[in-house]
Structures are given as C-alpha cells and as structure tokens.
Amino acid sequence: MSGSGRAPRKSYGTTAVASSPWIVVSIGVAVMVVLLVVALGAYRGRSPDFDAQPGPPPPTVALPELPLPPTGSASPTPSQRATRTPAERSSSPSTRPTPSRSSRAPAPTTGGDDAPLAVPPSPMSGRYRVVNSFHDGFIGEVLIRNSSTTDRDWTARLAFPGGRVDSAWVEGAPQGTMSRTGDGFSYRSGRDLAGGASVALRFYVERADSRPASCTVDDVACTGL
C-alpha cells in the first residue's frame, strides 16, 4: 500500500530552536540594541529649531512701599493686635487730639448779651379819681406826674369793660392823641411834661363802672383805685 509505506517527516529547524532557548534570547537582545542605536541617532540629528524655546520672563509688579514705624517704637504684629483685650484697648491713649481745658473755671460775666438787664422804674406816675358822676356816665381823671428832672412824654391806658369812652382831654396843656381800644382807650401826650411837673388827663365814660379794670401810665399802675 502506498500510504502505509512512507515514514513521517521530521522538522529539524523547529526542533533545534526548541532545544536551544538561548538562541531566541540572543536574537531579542540584538533587536533591542539595534532599536536603541536608531533612537540615539534620531535624537542627535534633531535640529535646534525644534528645541523648546524659553518663554518670556514673567512681568514684574512693583509693590507699594509701606511707611516704616517711627524709631524706637515697634509696630504690633497682627497677632498682637488681635489678642488685645477690651480693657487694654480702652486704656490705650487715643491718637485724636483733645482740646486743652483750663483747670480754672471761667469767671462769671456780668452785663453779657444773655444776662437780663435791670430796667429802671419809670419816673412817670398816675393817680386816678372820679371828678363828676352822672345818670349814665361819669368824668374821670388821672393826675400824671413827672418825678424826673428832664422833660418826658407819656402814654396813659385805661380799660372799662362794657363801657364806652366818649372823649378825653388834657387840662390846661396842648392836646395829645386818643385811640379807642376794645374795652377802653389809650392817650399819648402832645407835649413833653417838664421835670417835676404834673398834668391832669380827664375823660368822659358812659355805661361803665367808675372803677376801671386797669389804669397805667408808661406801664406803671395808677394809684387811688
């Protein structure tokens, strides 16, 4: 038979490699050496143009100069400022200037703008009396006297509630000006009254009590009421 008469073929190459592993190791080392040589050659052949160029220097920033503390005084550090107690802060002197105050109290002033000024009493005075009485009215009089040594004008004011002042005049002297008010009248002299002299102001009043509610001469109350 043709098939059974052939002997099997043997692969001598595969058997030799399998029986000698150092051959495979030698081949791998040789390949690695070749690759390393190629890589070194490529690195040395690189152009300087492809090398990394240094970048621009970073911009410089000018820092502001801090004022130096005065000589002989050390400025506290932030930790020292933070550890100060409220008592220490309150006891520390203030840097704000305080106005100087004198230890002596100011002397009291007299006659200042705020001090009340003493007003001397008026030398003019008046004395009231009734001269004549009628059924529906009366004639009254205020004797006005100037106790000073100089001539002075004067103003008399009388009030008769519910009454009507008909007329007013000065006996034996130039007449002045009468002005009626709501419940009476005021009379201003026409000529100054000489010092030490007196003059009688008379008036006729209707439907009123003979006693006036008020009577003044230069704001001085009349006597005789």
pLDDT (tens digit, 9 = 90+) per residue, 148-193?
A: 999 999 999 999 999 999 999 999 999 999 999 888 999 999 999 9
Q: What pTM was computed for the model?
A: 0.48
**Helix and strand counts by DSSP (H, E) for the chain:** 4, 9
What pLDDT, on the 0 to 100 scale, is given for residue 45? 59
For 143, the enclosing helix (H) or strand (E) is strand 137-146
| Mean pLDDT (whole number) for 34-53 | 65
pLDDT (tens digit, 9 = 90+) per residue, 3-29?
A: 445 555 555 555 555 556 667 777 888
* Cβ proximity of 169 and 212 under 8 Å: no
Range list of H helices, the chain: 12-19, 22-44, 78-82, 86-91
Distance CA(67)–CA(75), nearest Å, equals 11
Residue % of the chain over a pLDDT of 70: 56
Share the mean pLDDT of the chain. Answer: 76
Q: Which residue has the higher pLDDT, 101 or 190?
A: 190
Distance CA(156)–CA(168), nearest Å, equals 11
State the architecture of 124-220 in CATH terms.
Answer: Sandwich (2.60)
What ranges do the domains of the chain cover?
A: 124-220
Please name the residues in contact with 129: beta carbons below 8 A apart, sequence gap of 6 or more: 140, 141, 143, 224
